[in-house]
């Protein structure tokens, strides 16, 4: 399985590359549309602000959406998951890739600190191949101030931080998955998920 980590100028590319190599994937970091088109599966990482990410991503959006429409697997991580949504309220209202219907919203004001940072547990709502062998209540690592608000049909796993929010989402076809947490920073649990992605969504 040839994986392309999409390099659009934002994202912790090396850590996800190392994690995928650790689980046996053949990985390349690229911003070349032809390489993205030839890939078996795609990883969309992301760190930073939604608006900046979408501006940087604009030249690659069409080739990525075409790949998804062809049924290629895509994994969006953290901001990469949020980019899959229809729009975001971060820094004003901005359009997303619109692969999974939803809006990115900020955590409501409460006594809890924002950003939500550190380890928290998953509430698994739907069994998908990426969660094979992952137990309900498993801990994963989060760093974010915004979360995706979407319909329950797209929710795979939730997390509780003063309110329940989607920790994992998927599209109707099941070939696109988003994780609000960082699997590459989530120890053995995260590595198991990445191995599952490589093994279950490969050709």
> What is the arithmetic mean of pLDDT over 108-126?
96
**58-86: burial string, b at 16+ Cβ within 10 Å, e else:** eebbebbeebbeeebbbbbbbbbbbbbbb
Count Cβ atoms below 10 Å from residue 49 Cβ, excluding itself: 16
Work out how many domains the chain is built from and give that number: 1
> Is the pLDDT assigned to residue 38 strictly greater than 70?
yes
3 state SS of 38:
helix
Tens digit of pLDDT for each residue in 119-157?
999 999 999 999 999 999 999 999 999 999 999 999 999
Residues 107 and 130: their CA atoms lie apart, in Å, by: 27
Domain hosting residue 151, numbered range: 2-200
Question: Global pTM?
Answer: 0.96
Tens digit of pLDDT for each residue in 53-64?
999 999 999 999
Under 8 Å between Cβ of 61 and 23: no
Q: Mean pLDDT check: name the lowest of 5-14, 77-86, 175-184, 191-200.
A: 5-14
Q: What is the DSSP string of 153-192?
A: GGEEEEEESSSEEEEEEE-SSS-EEEESS-GGGSHHHHHH
Residues 4 and 42: their CA atoms lie apart, in Å, by: 5
Residues 67 and 20: their CA atoms lie apart, in Å, by: 20
pLDDT at res. 47: 87
pLDDT at res. 202: 58
The confidence band for 200, taking pLDDT boundaries of 50, 70 and 90, is: confident
Residues marked as catalytic: 78, 182, 184
H or E element that contains 5: strand 2-6
Rg (CA), the chain: 15
- CATH number where 67 lies: 3.40.50.880
């Amino acid at each position: 399985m040839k994986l392309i980590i999409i390099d659009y100028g934002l994202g912790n590319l090396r850590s996800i590359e190392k994690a995928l190599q650790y689980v046996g994937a053949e990985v390349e970091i690229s911003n070349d549309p032809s390489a993205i088109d030839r890939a078996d599966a795609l990883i969309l990482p992301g760190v930073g602000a939604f608006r900046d990410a979408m501006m940087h991503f604009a030249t690659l959006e069409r080739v990525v959406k075409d790949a998804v429409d062809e049924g290629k697997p895509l994994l969006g991580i953290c901001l990469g998951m949020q980019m899959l949504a229809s729009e975001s309220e971060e820094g004003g209202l901005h359009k997303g890739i619109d692969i999974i219907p939803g809006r990115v919203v900020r955590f409501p004001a409460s006594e809890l600190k924002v950003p939500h940072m550190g380890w928290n547990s998953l509430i698994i709502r739907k069994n998908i191949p990426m969660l094979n062998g992952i137990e309900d209540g498993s801990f994963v690592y989060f760093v974010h101030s915004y979360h995706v608000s979407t319909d329950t049909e797209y929710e795979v796993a939730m997390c509780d931080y003063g309110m329940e929010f989607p920790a994992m989402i998927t599209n109707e076809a099941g070939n696109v998955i988003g994780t609000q947490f960082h699997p590459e920073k989530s120890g053995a649990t995260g590595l198991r998920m990445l191995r599952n992605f490589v093994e279950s969504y490969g050709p």
